[in-house]
Chain A
Amino acid sequence: MQLSCSTLRQFFFLRPPRLPSSSPPLFLTPRRRLPSVVRAMASVGSDDRRLSRIASTIRVIHDFPKPGIKFQDITTLLLDPEAFRHTIDMFVERYKDKKISVVAGVEARGFIFGPPISLAIGAKFVPLRKPKKLPGEVIAEEYSLEYGTGIMEMHVGAVHPGERALVIDDLVATGGTLAAAIRLLERVGAEVVECACVIELPELKGRERLNGKPVFVLIEAD
């Protein structure tokens, strides 16, 4: 089943996420507000059903990590085994025949989605980490944060020239993190085939920071 990230022509609006009756109960915090509308990238047939389920499990937390931010919380997706399975399956279906030998996951939530994908497609998993976490020799790349800069590191020797790589994270916002990940992989001679995220915040225009590298996402959120 082909999913084309470059032809996101068809969206449908979901009602604000509600719990499927068969799922374990999610909790309500005293300060919970109505979640923002989450749109799923519809494509074909049964994908709609899977995307609906995935989208309905994502929880929005207001004012985290600071006032005004609507945080897309994927931990509730992970509490629904079927939704988590669908998420991984949709990425695996897209990438399994694309001769990808490297899945690079951005710390820390990229560590949750990346390894199941790499295991299913027979690729190695390469963790991209904050400074001083990786024990061996590393290369480092700076990237912009809202205030200041961050640094991302990758082990020297993890990736070889000519390898075809994916970058995985839970969400693309400004694109700064993904751009740094792409640069690290390209510096060692890998070809970044695509970036893959569960969620995109399109208003933050992260795609434009990726120098034309394609991004594939399952869900868009406001």
Chain B
Amino acid sequence: MAVPEDKEQDPRIPRIASSIRVVPDFPKKGIMFQDITTLLLDPKAFKDTVDLFVERYTGRDISVVAGVEARGFIFGPPIALAIGAKFIPLRKPRKLPGEVISENYVLEYGTDCLEMHIGAVQPGERALVVDDLIATGGTLCAAMSLLERAGAEVVECACVIELPELKGRERLNGKPLFILMESH
């Protein structure tokens, strides 16, 4: 795990980084999967992770934290609660019970779809998108589209881990991305 060179390393980051487990060949051969469940087993590392995001976003008039199913549901709500924002789950198709808007996005093979409840976000609200990791950026891009279609302003995307070689940042149409660590 590396901290991006242009950032000073917050002293909490090494412990967070060391708590993340890499599982080779998951979900298929050749992929080195960044497993954050081991971070969640270390209460101090988990608390520090949330604190790092909360410190960044407190006092910036953010009223919406949108989390991508399912690992975004783990990091998003604690951030939302701490900054006094609402939490909006962005879900795979047919999971949300009410009326939704949908956004398709491209996977390595084929496409997938992300949904958000209509009316969850009001025009003009300032929003964060939270997920555990950014790889190709496809999911985050779809998440931002949903929020923007509802009239919200996406202030930033926030992830614990970035895989910079997959160039996900370039898919975010210039929206800023905040991460705690990179993995190569």
Question: B129 within 8 Å of A by Cβ?
Answer: no
A27 to B123 alpha-carbon distance, docked (Å): 13
A115 to B69, CA, bound (A): 14
Binary contact track B106-123/A, C-beta < 8 Å → 1, others 0: 000000000001111010
Contacts of B122 in A (CB 8 A): 24-25
Between-chain CB contacts (< 8 Å), 14 pairs: A64-B97, A73-B97, A75-B88, A108-B70, A111-B71, A115-B40, A115-B74, A116-B81, A119-B50, A125-B74, A127-B70, A136-B23, A136-B37, A155-B37
A126 contacts the other chain (Cβ, under 8 Å)?
Answer: yes
Q: Is the CB of A135 within 8 A of B99?
A: no
Q: Which of A59, A88, A126, A136 contacts B35 (CB 8 A)?
A: A136
What size tier do the contact residues of chain B reach? 35 or more
Size bracket of the A interface = 35 or more
CA distance A125 to B95 in the complex (A): 23
Collect the chain A residues with CB atoms within 8 Å of residue B41's CB.
124-126, 158
Residue of A nearest to B67 (CB): A112
A contact residues around B78 at 8 Å (CB): 115-116, 119
Which B residues touch A123, using CB under 8 A?
Answer: 43
With both beta carbons as reference points, the residue of chain B lying nearest to A24 in the complex is identified as B122
Question: Does A142 count as interface, using CB distance less than 8 angstroms?
Answer: no
**Is the beta-carbon distance between B120 and A79 smaller than 8 angstroms?**
yes
Task: Tell me, in angstroms, the Cα distance from A193 to B95 when the chains sit together.
Answer: 30
Please provide the chain A residues from 109 to 151 with a CB less than 8 Å away from any CB of chain B in the complex.
Answer: 109, 111-113, 115-116, 118-119, 122-127, 129, 132-136
Residues of B within 8 A of A122 (CB): 43
Considering the complex, which residues of chain A in the window 57-76 have a beta carbon less than 8 Å from any beta carbon of chain B?
59, 61, 64-65, 71, 73, 75
B181 at the A interface (CB under 8 A)? no
